[in-house]
Amino acid sequence: MIKVVFLGFGNVNSHLCRAMAESEQVSVMQVFNRTAMQLPKTLQAIPFTTQLSEIKEADVYILGIPDDAIESFSATLPLRDQLIVHTSGGVAMDALSNQNRMGVLYPLQTFSKQRTIALDKVPICIEASAPEDLGLLRQLGSTISEIVVEISSEERAKLHVSAVFVNNFVNYLYTVSEELLAKNHLNFELLKPLILETAHKIETLSPSEAQTGPAKRNDRKTIEKHVHLLKDSPYKELYTQLTQAIETTYGKKL
Ligand SMILES: NC(=O)c1ccc[n+]([C@@H]2O[C@H](COP(=O)([O-])OP(=O)(O)OC[C@H]3O[C@@H](n4cnc5c(N)ncnc54)[C@H](OP(=O)(O)O)[C@@H]3O)[C@@H](O)[C@H]2O)c1
């Protein structure tokens, strides 16, 4: 049985906690959060504290707090020689205080507290300062996912850049589209089948094979029409830059 304490209960830790609490190989000993809060109904049997001095003993402490708070918060923990892991894609393992053993358990997925998602196909990227801890994290990761991979801090930073492109940037473009449609009294719902098919396509085609659209076809007439339609929009520059990027990529390959 792996004993786990969650430090912070935001988007990521709430999902990890729910999944680990369901595993027979994990015992969730406690949730710590600096602010008092109520755990979800299904997790209310788990002890909760807001006091650093009351943090219980565990095999692994999972720190799920914003990136910029990891370093300072880990230094305030009244623990010594324990395994503390953070869950960040973009923060190096050694940002954690060296008063404890360091590790990372980064679930490569987008999490929001209000959405429940299955974790079993989510890659869990692990790293540890000690080889025996790596084994423990592999075991812990396997209780919630079929995919557990060892990834160094340097590799994870690069992986995170790509994750930002495919998730954060793409999602931002949804926001742009929604705003443009709303200005013209059109419903974003109309785009949802296209969004879903675009995502599903890359299960069988490479992103490069799946690319379509006026920029890839070098269809100048359509591009000029779009730029004209966006002439007063703050997104005209973004459209032009993305079009140029696609043209450069496919132009090079011609
Ligand atoms: N969200 C994602 O999609 C995602 C995906 C993969 C990895 N990650 C990584 O997972 C980590 C957590 O992300 P998240 O989205 O779960 O964060 P989040 O929801 O914003 O985290 C909120 C939690 O952090 C605590 N917190 C905030 N500032 C703190 C501070 N200065 N000291 C102590 N606790 C503090 C909050 O406590 P209070 O309730 O007291 O404010 C709350 O428990 C980050 O490293 C992030 O990069 C996020």
C-alpha angle 27-33-38 in degrees, rounded to nearest 5: 80
Task: Please state the pTM of the whole predicted model.
Answer: 0.91
Instruction: Please indicate, yes or no, whether residues 160 and 146 belong to a single structural domain of this protein.
Output: no
CATH number at residue 87: 3.40.50.720
Domain that holds residue 177: 156-253
> Are the C-beta atoms of residues 46 and 30 closer than 8 Å to each other?
yes
Given 107, 131, 151, the domain boundary residue is: 151
Single residue among 101, 132, 151 that ends a domain in this structure? 151
pLDDT per residue over 162-221, tens digit each?
Answer: 999 999 999 999 999 999 999 999 999 999 999 999 999 999 999 999 999 999 999 999
Q: Mark whether 175 and 147 lie in a shared domain.
A: no
Residues with C-beta less than 6 Å from any ligand 1 atom: 8-13, 33-35, 64-67, 69, 73, 86-89, 106-107, 110-111
Same domain, 136 and 160: no
Tell whether 16 and 136 lie within a shared domain. yes
Note whether 8 and 93 are same-domain residues. yes
pLDDT digits (tens, 9 = 90+) for 35-91: 999 999 999 999 999 999 999 999 999 999 999 999 999 999 999 999 999 999 999
Amino acid at 143: T
Q: Are 100 and 83 in contact (CB under 8 A)?
A: yes
Among the candidates 120, 151, 182, a domain finishes at 151
Nearest alpha carbon to residue 12 among 29, 31, 27, 25? 31
Cβ atoms of 110 and 84 within 8 Å: the answer is no
Spacing, Cα 104 to ligand 1 middle (Å): 14
How far does residue 68's CA lie from ligand 1's centre (Å)? 9
Q: Domain count of the chain? A: 2
Instruction: Check whether residue 161 and residue 137 sit in a common domain.
Output: no
Residues 93 and 120 in one domain: yes
The Cα 90–Cα 112 span in angstroms is 18
Residues 84 and 210 in one domain: no
